[in-house]
Amino acid sequence: SAPVYISKSDVKAAVDELSHTTMSVAMQDANVPPRLIAAILSEMCDLQCEPRFGGTKASQPFHFNRCARQVGVEAPWIWNLVVRSIIAKCLPIWSSEGLGVQTEEARLTHMIWADNFYCVASSEEHLAR
């Protein structure tokens, strides 16, 4: 049997670091209707935050424009759309270069679990590419 090389990458603060542009492009790539995109993104813009520490609150609220919220119900869905959008751009290149590992059923190039990416290759050189 042939060797298999696997590389793991964990995307730190994956959802928190997505830009509104990245989310919008991913939703467009998935054919999400423009009105729904606008509605989702409007919930993530011009938010105000008023932190409290030990019962003491900040002197005034401040604007908080973070991307998808980790606790937001939309976050996993948007993250998955972003990942699919990125992978869709990579797959033709990986396929044309013969990257990945051939199984009985298909060529395996990657696996995804939440915000962990696993690249699969038949050699260290292919894994590096």
pLDDT confidence of residue 30? 94
| Cβ contacts of 49 within 8 Å, gap of 6 or more | 61, 62, 63, 64
pLDDT confidence of residue 88? 92
The two structure tokens encoding residue 10: 């964990």
**Alpha carbons 3 and 106: distance in angstroms, whole number:** 16
Residues of the chain with pLDDT below 50 are: none
**Alpha carbons 121 and 55: distance in angstroms, whole number:** 53
pLDDT confidence of residue 67? 59
pLDDT confidence of residue 103? 86
pLDDT confidence of residue 32? 95
Cβ neighbourhood burial of 10 (10 Å; 0-12, 13-18, 19+)? exposed
pLDDT confidence of residue 33? 96
Indicate left, alpha or beta for 87 from its phi (over 0: left) and psi (-120 to 50: alpha).
Answer: alpha
The two structure tokens encoding residue 129: 């590419």
